[in-house]
Chain A
Amino acid sequence: MKILVAEDEPIMLKTISLRLKKDGHTVIATDNGREALEQIEREVPDLIITDIMMPYSSGLEIVGKVRQSRKTPIIILSSMGQENIVLEAFNLGADDYITKPFSPNELSMRVKRFSL
């Protein structure tokens, strides 16, 4: 599966990418929202994993813009205390969310659900 990961924290981005690559997925990694939107247009991923707080475009903006033209599944990475934002993301069309701190194995299992 071709997965786009958008996360501004470099170590987190690398960890998620590495985990997904070990699971046999192709990963497109990006550290900001604007680049993520460009990559989505160019690469057409099968799944999008995005953080909420990012430079240039937030995770919510990504969900909103993607849903205008695509049905690509989207997983949101949120922090504790961002429940309202998660609800907003669901309203905009997000499919799932994971709250930080999370285990990379948990993320791997969630991704597996979308690859079936």
Chain B
Amino acid sequence: MISFSIHILTTNYFFAKTLLPSRFFFDVSFLLLTTVMLVLVFIVFYLFYYLNRTSKKTEIVRLYSDIISEIILCETDEELKEVIAQLDAQKIITHWFAEPVGRKILIQELVKIHKTISGKGADNIRWMYEHFGLVEDSLNDLASHKWHRKAVAIQQLAEMKQIKYLTKIYKATNSKNKWIRTEAQIAVVKLTGFKGLRFLNIISHPISQWQQLCLLRELVMDHEYSSSNLKSWLCSTNDSVVEFTLRLIKKFMCFELQKEVVGCLYHKADNVREAAISTLTEIAADETPWLLQERFASASRKEKLLILSVLKERGVEEQGSFFRDLLCHEDTRIKTAARAALMRIAESASNIYNLPNGVEQKADVA
């Protein structure tokens, strides 16, 4: 930083000396020097403030850690009351409980520890969150106009399993703000599992790929599978909803929806078609390899490669001629994928196909 400032100053010195009239030279130099000094002073003050804030936070967390760990380990209500009575006697802790900063840090720590503790300990953390009125703090943030406070509040309420505020959170699932919306969608799934997915009926914004993975991860955790609405979501006008539904079908292997998934092979959106091909790997029926072969001719290059990777797993011996024809395809990757699929079905059928002369060598070179 300092060497950079010196470099700037020297450059400006020579620049100013050659271009500026001599009467302005000292004024400009003084202005530059003052600016640099001001920036340096700002940096020093900010570092001091940051270090001070960090050490204060560490100190508050240290104070809280004793009480939180004791509360986590309480086995009965009597033990909890005893710990709270001890707490009332410790003025420094009660002082921080009354301060907004102290409460904010307490919520952060409770949410963090709740993610790593299960059983009675987790119940006790939630009890502490409610007992000290921290729910109200989260609700105030939820009512805030600032998107970041709203998103964090939703995260806190969901982690602390505050199902009574589900309606308030649910309203945010189609929010204009991306961050509020994504947090709310994960929260409703966390709180109610598959039932929470009803936001898919009304959502008008696209669900990102990352969000789809987060929702799936949440669903497979400890929620019971329910497929009541999957069929209607496959007909959604929101392409990302259809894509997400296909991922659900793949994850939970909904064989009963095989026909509908095949229908998605001809969907207008690329992502949906690709997801449909990938889904068919998991829920393949006897006719699936033939349906994919039929789709192959009009598919895009990416889809063709996907179809071949599915057929590598699900292809049948009778499709040998289809793969052999592809061995002369002009696209090297398609040729290689076809060869891999052919070898795989040949292996599984314990049968060696008669490859056209020189084709194997060509594929190897590719």
* Chain A residues engaging chain B, CB cutoff 8 angstroms: 9-15, 17-19, 22, 79, 100-106
User: How many interface contacts (CB-CB < 8 Å) are there between A and B?
Assistant: 59
* Residue in A10, A18, A103 whose CB lies within 8 Å of B117: A103
Does B311 interact with chain A (Cβ within 8 Å)? no
What would 17 more interface pairs be, CB under 8 Å, given A9-B116, A101-B118, A104-B119? A9-B113, A10-B61, A11-B61, A11-B113, A12-B116, A14-B69, A15-B113, A18-B70, A18-B73, A22-B73, A79-B116, A100-B116, A101-B115, A101-B116, A102-B116, A102-B117, A104-B72
Are B73's CB and A11's CB within 8 A? no
By the criterion CB–CB under 8 Å, are A12 and B73 in contact?
A: no
CB distance from B203 to the nearest CB of A (A): 27
Closest residue to B70 on the A side, CB-wise? A18
Q: How far is the CA of A72 from the CA of B113 in the complex (A)?
A: 28
Question: Which residue of chain B has its CB nearest to the CB of A14?
Answer: B69
What would 20 A/B residue contacts be, using CB atoms closer than 8 Å?
A9-B113, A11-B61, A11-B65, A12-B116, A14-B68, A15-B68, A15-B72, A15-B73, A15-B121, A18-B70, A18-B73, A101-B115, A101-B116, A102-B117, A103-B117, A103-B118, A103-B120, A103-B121, A104-B73, A104-B121
For the complex, what is the distance from the CA of A114 to the CA of B196, rounded to whole Å?
A: 43
CB distance A11 to B119 under 8 Å?
no
Q: Which of B4-60 contact A (CB under 8 A)?
A: none
B117–A104 touching, CB < 8 Å: yes
Interface membership of B296, Cβ < 8 A: no
Which chain B residue has the least Cβ–Cβ distance from A13? B65
C-alpha spacing A19/B121, complex, angstroms:
11
Q: In whole Å, how far is B221's beta carbon from the nearest beta carbon of chain A?
A: 8
Q: Give every chain B residue within 8 A of A104 (Cβ-Cβ).
A: 72-73, 117, 119, 121
Chain B residues whose CB sits within 8 angstroms of the CB of A22 once the complex forms? 73
Interface of A is mostly: helix
Report the minimum CB–CB distance from A80 to chain B (whole Å).
8
Bound complex: CA A106 to CA B73 (Å): 12
Also in contact, A105 and B119, with CB within 8 A (given A9-B112, A11-B113): yes
Contact of A105 with B117 in the complex, beta carbons under 8 Å? no
Q: From A12, A13, A79, A103, give the contact of B119 (CB < 8 A).
A: A103
| Residue tally, chain B, CB below 8 Å to A | 21
Which residues on the B side are within 8 Å of A12 (C-beta)? 113, 116-117
Q: Is the CB of B122 within 8 A of A101?
A: yes
**Chain A residues near B64 (CB, 8 Å)?**
11
Q: Quick one: which of A11, A102, A105, A106 contacts B69, CB cutoff 8 A?
A: A11
Interchain CA distance A77-B119 in the complex, whole Å: 17
Interface residues of B in 65-85 (CB under 8 A from A): 65-66, 68-70, 72-73
Which residues of the partner chain B approach A103 to less than 8 Å between Cβ atoms? 117-121
Find chain A residues with CB under 8 A from B66 CB. 14
Q: Are B73 and A19 in contact (CB under 8 A)?
A: yes
Contact of B68 among A11, A79, A102, A105 (CB under 8 A): A11
A14: chain B residues at CB < 8 Å are 65-66, 68-69
- Would you call B120 and A15 a contact (CB within 8 A)? no
| Chain B residues with CB below 8 A from A106, complex form | 119
Nearest A-chain residue to B109, judged by Cβ: A11
For residue B131, CB closer than 8 A to chain A, the reply is no
Residue B62 at the chain A interface, CB threshold 8 Å: yes
Tell me the complex Cα distance, A10–B64, Å.
10
| Chain B residues closer than 8 Å to A100, beta-carbon distance | 115-116
Alpha-carbon distance between A101 and B62 when the two chains are bound, in angstroms: 22
Within 8 A of A (CB), among B87-122: 109, 112-113, 115-122
Of B69, B112, B120, the residue contacting A18 (CB under 8 A) is B69
CA distance A12 to B112 in the complex (A): 10
A83 to chain B, nearest CB (A): 14
List 3 tightest A-B contacts by C-beta distance, closest first. Answer: A103-B119, A15-B69, A14-B69
Query: A102 to B120, alpha carbons, bound, how many Å?
Result: 10
- Chain A residues contacting B113 (CB-CB under 8 Å) are 9, 11-12, 15
Cα A13 to Cα B62 with chains together (Å): 11
Shortest Cβ distance from residue A75 to the other chain B in the assembled complex, whole angstroms: 15
Determine the distance from Cα of A14 to Cα of B64 in the docked complex, in whole angstroms. 11
